[in-house]
Amino acid sequence: MSNPTPNPPVPEGRYVTLANGYRIHYLDEGSGPVVVFLHGSGNGASGYSNFKGNYPALVQAGYRVILPDLIGFGYSDKPTDVEYPLAFFVECLKQALDAIGIDKVTLIGNSLGGAVSLGFALVHPESVERLVLMAPGGVSDMPDYLAMPGMAAMFAHMATGQPFTHETMKAFFIKAFVVNPACVDDTLVAERLALMKLQNPQVMKTMKVPNLTERLGEIECPALTLWGINENMMPENGILRLAKGLKNGRLLTVPNCGHWVMIEHRELFNRTVLDFLRHG
């Protein structure tokens, strides 16, 4: 297939057609045990932009990395005639892995991707070897989310109906996602802005993520959670819920860190994840 844009803002990899008829875009690099990175939501989100500073370290360490764009994002299909509950993301991920021919994975997910990881582990426990979660969704109720300053800013912007500009997107990312403004560079903003133009509003308007707290005890696999102490998107009641709920989990809180621990503290994240993959 030709590139979706004449000068693609992020690398274009492979496409797989799902059993439900939709197509998922993904990068597939390296060989070894399979690790799947699942990105968060929001304007212009994609697997590559979220994890371009992380997945090469895992490839180099001997892992096969699958980096999909979730349905509704990036270069993947963005149907306008469906709603986007968590179960739909889980279904599309499972069908993508089945079509690629992968049956055992470690899932690494932040925000929405963390919620998808939890939902996938609950529905397909036999397929999940480990979980790595970065301030995942799915462990708080909507009023708690709306009280967070970053989340409130996102919904307020959506309500205006105005598209982001480079300047307004950069300011929003700095406010919502990081402590160190230097982590939001112009290249990242340009990537997200270009991908945002491929999106439609249906995914953000109809996304529904249930509170999975009461079901966390059903997850048996080893789990590692990283949570930035200066988080502006996810309510901190999620910290104890994950720490107490995941029976084979451990939790690392990261100071001077917002929602994007994998970007803001890249080397710490990569070292910690590799240690967890090797030693549990």
Residue 230 CA to residue 176 CA, distance in Å, equals 10
Task: Output the DSSP codes for 84-126.
Answer: -BHHHHHHHHHHHHHHHT---EEEEEETHHHHHHHHHHHH-GG
Residue whose pair of structure tokens reads 């349905």 in the numeric block: 71
124 is catalytic: no
Q: Token pair for residue 275? A: 């240690």
User: CA of 122: how far to CAs of 30, 98, 105, 127, 185, in Å?
Assistant: 27, 17, 14, 10, 36
Q: What is the dihedral of CA 71, 115, 267, 34, to 10 degrees?
A: -60
Query: Which one is catalytic: 25, 39, 259, 265?
Result: 259
Helix, strand, coil % over all residues of the chain, rounded to 5: 45, 15, 40
User: Angle at which helices 149-160 and 166-177 pack, to 10 degrees?
Assistant: 150
Residue 209 CA to residue 212 CA, distance in Å, equals 9
Residue 237, number of CB atoms within 10 A of its CB: 13
Residue 131 CA to residue 241 CA, distance in Å, equals 16
Q: Which of 108, 274, 262 is nearest to 183 (CA)?
A: 262
Catalytic residues: 259
